[in-house]
Copies of this chain bind each other. A is one copy, B any other.
Amino acid sequence: MKNYSIAKSRRLRSTPYTSRIEKQGVTAYTVYNHMLLPTAFGSIEDSCDHLKKDVQVWDVAAERQVEISGKDSAKLVQLMTCRDLSKSKIGRCYYCPIIDGNGNLVNDPVILKLADNRWWISIADSDVIFFAKGLATGHKYDVKIFEPNVNILAIQGPKSFDLMEKVFGKEIKKLKFFGFNYFNFNGVKHLIARSGWSKQGGFEVYVEDIKSGLELYDYFFETGKEFNIKAGCPNLIERIESGLLSYGNDFDNNDNPFECGFEKYVNLDSEIVFLGKERLKKIKQEGVKRKLMGVKIDIDKISLTKSLNIKDDKGNLIGELRSACYSPHFKRVIGIAMINEPYCKASATGKLEIDENSLTVNVCDLPFI
């Protein structure tokens, strides 16, 4: 697999932490919300091992925020998601599929309720800001919509709890999963949520004060030596093993939430008004014809750069592999695939062609672990 350089420019925005992670040995980037997102510091297998044992600091500034405030902000936020936010609470994060008028997915952000009339939509890789602006204009909503200069640092891994306690005091350990609150570092308040794009536990610091954020970044590494702290990034292996889905990779604007296993975030029976509601009712009634599933393949490496077709014995298309990696835990390649009926069940098998080899694909449930 040949490596290609990323051509940097202002359009692929750097983050406040870019110069730091480049000193710390970042080797590869992806682009996410028009911003650089690190994907590797050398071996992603070593990094996965480390993440599962110790603690990492991640530059995930590319998880941009869309701030929606004003009189009609709650109405607009609700209009965009099929999840019922009518009982949502200030200080909580909500994983919310964003849906268009066709019932298809636009994004799968975490939404933070900052106040009754102030929300942050912490987005995956698509321009939710323009969807929100279009809707607000069309509906003549009284809202303000902009991208605040928030640059998230994620602290992930089992030792993140002790590290965070050492830096912010023991109150931070009381934060519940997907709760957030404000914590002091050298006189500056930072919004910190117990969240992050791994299943190893951890926190996300929504840095608004860049100067303080950079001091915090450096302080984590000073004070975290005893926890074997390292710079890291969202890890392909860990996220697939954990079944954390990625917009653009595992699903996109051609897929609906039922196909992606988001049933529990689709509140069709409530009184709330959201886009695509009638369409989703119809889809639910008719049942979906395909579903995101796990797959296991008996090979020891893969480098997936686009979808690969999965076929049955007769060569008929039965699905599409969308993400994959070698998992040291399972000692084989695992992946996430959109599988058609009647193959979307845990005992199904299919075939995949890679480099002229025909490989057996075993369908399984998500998450793997």
Query: How many protomers of this protein does the assembly include?
Result: 2
B34 near A125: Cβ-Cβ < 8 Å = yes
Tally of A interface residues using CB under 8 Å: 56
CB < 8 Å neighbour of A132 from B11, B134, B248 = B134
Cβ contact within 8 Å between A30 and B13 = no
A127 cross-chain contacts in B, Cβ below 8 A: 126-127, 130-131
User: Please, how many angstroms separate the alpha-carbon atoms of A129 and B131 in the complex?
Assistant: 8
Does A20 reach chain B (CB closer than 8 Å)?
A: no
| A104-146 at interface with B (beta carbon < 8 Å) | 106, 125-140
Chain B: CB-nearest residue to A233 = B7
Q: A130-B131, A131-B131, A132-B134 are in contact. Are A27 and B13 (CB under 8 A)?
A: no
* Listed stretches A182-190, A260-268, A304-312; interface member: A304-312
On whether A306 and B132 interact (CB within 8 A), knowing A4-B27, A127-B127, A139-B138, the answer reads no
* Cβ-closest 3 pairs across A and B: A138-B138, A134-B134, A11-B248
Q: Which residues of A contact B (CB under 8 A)?
A: 2-14, 22, 26-31, 34, 39-40, 100-101, 106, 125-140, 147, 246-249, 253, 275, 303-307, 322-323
10 inter-chain pairs at a CB distance below 8 angstroms, sorted by A residue, are A4-B29, A10-B249, A10-B322, A11-B247, A13-B306, A101-B137, A128-B130, A134-B134, A135-B137, A137-B138
